[in-house]
Copies of this chain bind each other. A is one copy, B any other.
Amino acid sequence: MNTVGMIYKTTIFGSSHGPAVGCVVDGCPAGVAISVDRIQKQLDRRRPGSSDVSSPRKEKDHLIILSGLLEGKATGASITGVVNNKDTESKVYDAFKVVPRPGHADFTATMKYHGFHDHRGGGMFSGRMTIPLVISGSIAMQALESRGIRVAAHSLRIGRIWAKSNPPIPDIERVARKSDVGCADPSVAKLMKAEILDAKREGDSVGGIIECIASGLPVGVGEPFFNSVESVLSHLLYSIPAIKGIEFGAGFQVAEMKGSENNDQFKVRNGKVITETNNSGGVLGGITNGMPIVLRVAVKPTPSIGKTQRSVNLKEMKETDLEIVGRHDPCIVPRAVPVVESVVSTGLLDLMLAGGLF
């Protein structure tokens, strides 16, 4: 099931250590201007090796477009983007087919695919599979921007360090997109970086929370009953490896709120209906109400750590110690920030097209 979407359909392919990763994006309306440079810039933000908080794997991740664009515009045909894999060290992964790494898909993939899956580098479960998500999402983001919609994410929390929730989108675009920890507040960013480097020193890793905001959407986006905004976005967001929680607006805090506190009261400003608060996160009955969409996702600490772990030799069905050597990120939150922006863009464009609102 490597295809997702109603009208704007994304089909992904590839594996970490195969020849390439990429995607085919279908349903982008003919005539929408798409800059390949801008897609490349989002890929560069996702790319490892750019700072000491990420894995030292060095890849240019150079995007090649095989179809669907002509003279800078979508042709109406499917758009194919490919990134070749280069800096791969596959041998180290052979052992994980027999002794699976805790927190990784080694065990479940071996069982599901009877050992025939491409296990090298995590195969199709690798974080590298978020490259196609970024390609699809960057195309969608450009289409959305042509309608005045902006989608921006930032690191809200890394380990014990919290940033302020719901910063203005221009702050995210100006600060967070340049921060090596994806944070919109430079002073908090320093603390987050220290938190990551602490974990790195211990041979350990840390998790975090990413917040994403989408503004400028018209009222009426969302296709109930089953394709509510929350359903479509969470479906896509939970495809990102390492996401373990998703909440919209007040999220889990609604559990402790009274109806009178949680209900967003309507008011009129500049001839438009808006709400005083935004506990709904911009979505009522699964449909956008014109307020910004606000959502947060919990990102687990990278499962690849330097510390010795306990696992099982599947051939002998015996418990054993496991030490993982190789390159890994002490925290993947910063690199996941553009991925979250991307899948939210993909989902919103699809919903707008399905609703006849693009």
Contact = CB atoms under 8 A, between A and B. Distances in A.
Contact of A239 (B228, B262, B265): B228
A66 B18 contact: yes
A223 B264 CA distance: 38
A207 B255 contact: yes
Given A103-B259, A281-B244, A116 B226 contact: no
12 contacts: A7-B354, A12-B226, A14-B77, A15-B77, A18-B67, A30-B113, A70-B117, A75-B123, A76-B117, A199-B259, A244-B254, A259-B305
Nearest to A101: B263
A273 B123 CA distance: 22
A55 interface: no
- How many identical subunits does the complex contain? 4
A250 B207 CA distance: 12
Contacts of A113: 30-31, 75-76
Nearest to A305: B259
A220 B259 contact: no
Contacts of A1: 6, 26-27, 223-227, 354
A283 to B, nearest CB: 8
B298 A76 contact: no
Given A129-B225, A226-B235, A276 B310 contact: yes
A246 B125 CA distance: 22
Contact of A303 (B14, B65, B259, B275): B259
A300 interface: yes
Contact of A234 (B246, B257, B284): B246
Contact of A263 (B27, B103, B236, B354): B103
A88 interface: no
A76 B204 contact: no
Interface in A274-315: 275-276, 279-281, 284-289, 298-305, 307, 309-312, 314
A171 interface: no
Given A226-B235, A254-B300, A107 B289 contact: yes
B225 A239 contact: yes
Contacts of A13: 24, 66-68, 77-80
A187 interface: no
A252 B244 CA distance: 7
